[in-house]
Copies of this chain bind each other. A is one copy, B any other.
Amino acid sequence: MGKVGMKQLAEMIGMSASTVSRAFRSPHLVHPKTRERILQVARETEYIYDAAAGDFSRKISTVIGVLVPTTKRSLFSESLLAIQDKTQEKNFSVIIGNTKYDSAVEAHLLKQFQGRRVAGMILTGFGLGHEKLVEDIIKSGIPCVVIWEKLDSDVISYVGFDNYKAAYSITKYLISLRHRRIGLIIGPYSKMGRTRKRLEGYRAALTDHGIAVDMSLVVEKDLDLLEGKQGMIRLLGLEQPPTAVFAASDTLAIGALAGAREMGCRVPDDVSLVGFDNIEFAAYCEPPLTTIRIPAYQMGQLAVRTLLEIIEKGTPETHQYCLETDLIIRDSCAEFKS
């Protein structure tokens, strides 16, 4: 059974390849009867449309590239899922790359995507410091939309949220509970713009409420459970431990919870704790975690819509959406007394 292509298909029916092609891509241009027959025979012969060749011929592909720091973070996966859902509807394919927060890998994958002539890209958490790189790609004719970060550039499209504001608000919540010594366990802000915004939000909330920022209460940790645990242990071991802790990701927070247990410290009785992200597990730990909800799915969805729009129009334009986050109050905080 030698692979059938359009040509073979056309021959079988006694028709030109062009007509067959049209039957698939512009059905309205071909006589219903003819089309019917074509589709019919296509089914019988199990003809498979060669998308690669089509893309190549049309000089615009139906593949979009998605860059994610790591699919292991469940919220990124959530965005990714949304991207795929939307994308499948339109019969686009998604090629994916994990950067692992490493900018060399980032650069490599970007090149790879360009080489594949993707129709567009969605860049996750591609924040501050990389504007130039993204701008160049856009200039080269490949539309990009950045998600997970509100950017300062006015030429790059994004669908993000305000990390600064969100961190500010949850810190403020802790302050409203009368806490004054508030610890922070946070990802590597020195190398990640997005994370840095959270740090800034935390600091601003403190100073705005007349609390001096004490950097000995800030621990910079990699983003995983163990590090969260260690961070908490360190904070709790301080001469004057904090009465509340803001872990700048739920993963860190859940690790912190374990750390508190290990130190014989009850949450929220002895120390209050908040997270950030509202991953699913946050509601199921003990105690359920107060945190910030991030509209991950929504971001992915909107990003695809935006990207596809730009691709279709064919004109470079920029759209920017800053979505809202919510404070989700559960049971991991108590009012500070003394």
Contacts and interface: CB of A to CB of B under 8 A. Distances in A.
Chain A, interface size category, equals 35 or more
A286 B284 contact: no
A327 interface: no
State the oligomeric state as a number of copies.
2
Interface in A96-123: 96-98, 105, 108-109, 111-112, 114-117
A93 interface: yes
Which residue of A108, A255, A258, A284 has the most chain B CB atoms within 10 A of its CB atom?
Answer: A284
A52 B48 contact: no
A133 interface: no
A188 to B, nearest CB: 19
Interface stretch (A70-78, A159-167, A172-180, A198-206): A70-78
Contact of A115 (B49, B72, B80, B229): B49
B225 A283 contact: yes
A270 interface: no
Which residue of A71, A81, A96 has the most chain B CB atoms within 10 A of its CB atom?
Answer: A71
Interface in A36-68: 48-53, 55-56, 61, 63
Which residue of A70, A84, A257 has the most chain B CB atoms within 10 A of its CB atom?
Answer: A84
A299 B286 CA distance: 33
A95 interface: yes
A91 interface: yes
A108 to B, nearest CB: 7
A84 to B, nearest CB: 5
Contact of A93 (B72, B95, B285): B95
A93 B112 CA distance: 8
A96 B63 CA distance: 11
A225 B281 CA distance: 8
